[in-house]
Amino acid sequence: MNASEKKVAVAIVGASGYTGAELVRLLVRHPQAEITALTAGRKVGRRLGQVFPHLAGAGLPDLVSIDAADWDAAEVAFCCLPHGTTQDVVAGLPRHLKVIDLSADFRLADAGLYGRWYGQAHRAPELQKEAVYGLTEVARDAVSKARLVANPGCYPTAALLPLIPLLEAGLIDARDIVIDAKSGVSGAGRAAKESALYAEVAEGVQAYGVAAHRHAPEIEQELSTAAGEPVTVSFTPHLVPMNRGILATIYVRLAPGAAADDLGAALQRRYSGEPFVGVVAAGEAPSTRHVRGSNGCLIGVFADRLAGRAIVLSVIDNLVKGASGQAVQNMNVMCGLAETAGLEQAPLFP
């Protein structure tokens, strides 16, 4: 980096949760970004190191309220607030800011669909229309011109990266997609809930939100675009006793004439130039351990024993490519920086 180069000034709204902390982890090592403001709700006034001791040494500003942040000094805002309240906050931010929102508030293009799944009418429908769905590898051009990016959900990221190219290439049947996803616990956030207690999660596995999880319509929206027809999916998330990681095991029916090898080859072609998405060798199954702490997504394809079917495996770190890492990737694209800036770290294993 040229030391004289000006850094992008960044504010993180809602820095006291796990995605906020992960943004900090990535951005303090970003050669062209600088954190100038951190906001919080209940934890206003505290030092970041009190809320996240692992970040105590980062030399960052204290947590302030949204109103108290110096917005003139910032160019980019990452928004890590819960859905529902986010739309009001983003609507109130100065228009000179590039905004990357990690909530669900701007992901669904259809306001009616948002209302049905999130239980309230959208209060910023104009922003909803303006927002670009920021699955970077798929929407890079649109992201590069966007002012407001809706950062994809963690499950959608893991499912869409393998499925979109396969649907676009007409290699799989859009009406028979089963997504069985397994996630670490950090996806539930840092709010104190009985269901996220160590003793409730350790030493067990369970499905949740069966046939009713809010990431389903988000997945379907993007798959419908890719397929050129309305797509409904079977999507079942599971909670696994680990901090980080999502594995999506996706069961698909092959299009007439297509073989599992074709799927692997198509994905290989599609992602050959991409720094963050890789296809593993035939016969290998990617593990979430292989991407922990990194912005990578690894995909593997197997022929199923059921004739005419294939199994597609996809792994990400839910806090990185599934949230804060992809958000930084989007910032890089929006600001004309190298897309990999701040995201080059190797995975942490074991």
| Interface with a second copy (CB under 8 A), residue from 56, 121, 142, 282 | 56
* Cβ 174 vs Cβ 227: under 8 Å: yes
| Interface with a second copy (CB under 8 A), residue from 45, 46, 54, 259 | 54
Binding segment toward a second copy, per CB under 8 A, in 33-41, 130-138, 154-162, 280-288: 280-288
Q: Point out which residues pair with 248 in neighbouring strands.
A: 181, 314
Residues 141 and 158: their CA atoms lie apart, in Å, by 21
CB closer to a second copy out of 139 and 163: 163
* Cβ 79 vs Cβ 99: under 8 Å: yes
| Interface with a second copy (CB under 8 A), residue from 7, 29, 140, 214 | 29
From 237, 254, 255, select the one nearest 246 (Cα to Cα).
Answer: 237
If binding is defined by CB under 8 A, does position 282 make contact with a second copy? no
CA-based radius of gyration for the chain:
20
CB closer to a second copy out of 133 and 302: 302
If binding is defined by CB under 8 A, does position 289 make contact with a second copy? yes
If binding is defined by CB under 8 A, does position 240 make contact with a second copy? yes
From 147, 97, 151, select the one nearest 127 (Cα to Cα).
Answer: 147
Residues 218 and 49: their CA atoms lie apart, in Å, by 35
Q: Sketch the per residue contact string, 82 through 121, with a second copy: x for CB under 8 A, - otherwise.
A: ----------------------------------------
| Interface with a second copy (CB under 8 A), residue from 20, 152, 165, 296 | 296
Q: Tell me which residues in 152-171 interact with a second copy (CB under 8 A).
A: none
DSSP three-state, residue 203: coil
If binding is defined by CB under 8 A, does position 224 make contact with a second copy? no
| Interface with a second copy (CB under 8 A), residue from 65, 193, 261, 282 | 193
CB closer to a second copy out of 97 and 113: 113
Residues 12 and 20: their CA atoms lie apart, in Å, by 7
Nearest distance, CB of residue 14 and a second copy, angstroms: 16
DSSP three-state, residue 321: helix
Nearest distance, CB of residue 161 and a second copy, angstroms: 16
Residues 276 and 341: their CA atoms lie apart, in Å, by 12
In DSSP notation, 139-175 reads: HHHHHHH-SEEEPPPHHHHHHHHHHHHHHHTT-EEEE
Nearest distance, CB of residue 350 and a second copy, angstroms: 4
Q: Tell me which residues in 169-188 interact with a second copy (CB under 8 A).
A: 175-176, 178, 180, 182, 184-186, 188
CB closer to a second copy out of 78 and 106: 78
Binding segment toward a second copy, per CB under 8 A, in 88-96, 157-165, 194-202, 266-274: 194-202
310-331 burial, b for 16+ CB within 10 Å, e for fewer?
Answer: bbbbbbbbbbbbbbbbbbbbbb
CB closer to a second copy out of 128 and 294: 294
Total of chain residues touching a second copy, rule CB under 8 A:
90
| Active site positions, annotated | 154
Residues 315 and 329: their CA atoms lie apart, in Å, by 18
If binding is defined by CB under 8 A, does position 34 make contact with a second copy? no
Element (H, E) at 216: helix 215-227
Element (H, E) at 115: helix 111-118
Binding segment toward a second copy, per CB under 8 A, in 6-14, 100-108, 125-133, 236-244: 236-244
Nearest distance, CB of residue 314 and a second copy, angstroms: 11
- Give the pair of three-digit tokens for residue 196: 């996220």
Residue 155 is which amino acid?
Answer: Y
If binding is defined by CB under 8 A, does position 197 make contact with a second copy? yes
Residues 180 and 163: their CA atoms lie apart, in Å, by 13
